Structure 1
Amino acid sequence: MNFSIPNWLIIIGGCGQIFTALIYPYIRHRVFDWYTDVKQLKPLNQEIAKTYGRYIQGLNFSFGIIALTLTNDLKNQTPLALAITGLIGAYWVGKVITQIAYYPMYEIPQKFIFKIGSYFMNALFTLFAIVFTVLFIYNLIGIL
């Protein structure tokens, strides 16, 4: 099989993941008023919620840095490339499934910018899921 994922696509995925990490606090604060809701929790639960929010932000940023700095390594069909692309792909596939299954039940504020932002972010999440799942499959085929 003479198929290869273009580096520019992985780089776009990396930049997008860094973007999601950087925009995450704004979305929590401005779109979802997340901190007001978190303040209603017990102090320990507040810290747990904030910690998980930081984990998400840190993972998104880290995945982006990996994509930008190790672009060729992510498609070199080694066991490590398989593991990393599998992890990143599974993370984003899970995010897309969660987005489809649970988020439509909730209202996003009806400002035009938030609606457009919602479509844009969902498109990014889907892009990440596709790119890293295809990379995973590519690496798997190369190992088998």
Structure 2
Amino acid sequence: MKTQIPNWLIIAGGIGQIFTALIYPYIRHNVFDWYNDLKQLKPLNQEIAKTYERYIQGLNFSFGLIAILIPKDLKDGTNLAIAITGLIAAYWVGKVATQIAYYPMYQIPQKAIFKIGSYFMNFLFTLFAIVYTWLLIINLSTIF
């Protein structure tokens, strides 16, 4: 029997990814004071950092839209499904690995809302990594 991921889980992950894209400006401004730190950089480096900020938001939003709009296509075993789920899995596994390896060195504000938010966001990132890795494995299993 072939293991399947329910569409609702893929769609829920998509909603979560869109949520992360929409919440990032709040987190950067209110939790990390990112904009004040950014002002300390040279103008070109400021623009580079802002560009990467937009890439991250755009990818999170786009990955979410893909999951919401075409969940069945993400698990149909086609070459495109393998490529897309592989890309998204690598993105989120990389995010989780970075989170574990580097972020514990830094302090976030100790307000309860930020601590709870940190656990919630880490849960979401891990969920995305698991769902897309699972999808990739299922898609690859159609080949092997």
Structure 2: distance between partners of 1:69 and 1:125: 20
Shift of 1:143: 2.0
TM-score, reference length from structure 2: 0.99
Which residues in structure 2 correspond to 1:7-22 (within 5 Å)?
7-22=7-22
Aligned to 1:73: 73
Aligned to 2:102: 102
Structure 2: distance between partners of 1:125 and 1:86: 16
Structure 1: distance between partners of 2:111 and 2:104: 16
Structure 2: distance between partners of 1:85 and 1:49: 27
Structure 2: distance between partners of 1:110 and 1:127: 24
Which residues in structure 2 correspond to 1:1-144 (within 5 Å)?
1-144=1-144
Q: Deviations over 1:69-100 (max 9, x none)?
A: 11000000001000000000000000000000
Structure 2: distance between partners of 1:14 and 1:138: 18
Shift of 1:3: 1.2
Structure 2: distance between partners of 1:14 and 1:2: 23
Contact 1:18–1:65, Cα closer than 8 Å, also in 2: yes
User: Equivalent pairs: percent with the same residue?
Assistant: 78
Shift of 1:110: 0.3
Q: SS where residue 101 of structure 1 aligns?
A: helix
Structure 2: distance between partners of 1:3 and 1:106: 39
Gaps of 5+ in 2: none
RMSD, matched Cα: 0.5
Shift of 1:2: 1.9
Structure 2: distance between partners of 1:28 and 1:54: 12
Gaps of 5+ in 1: none
TM-score, reference length from structure 1: 0.99
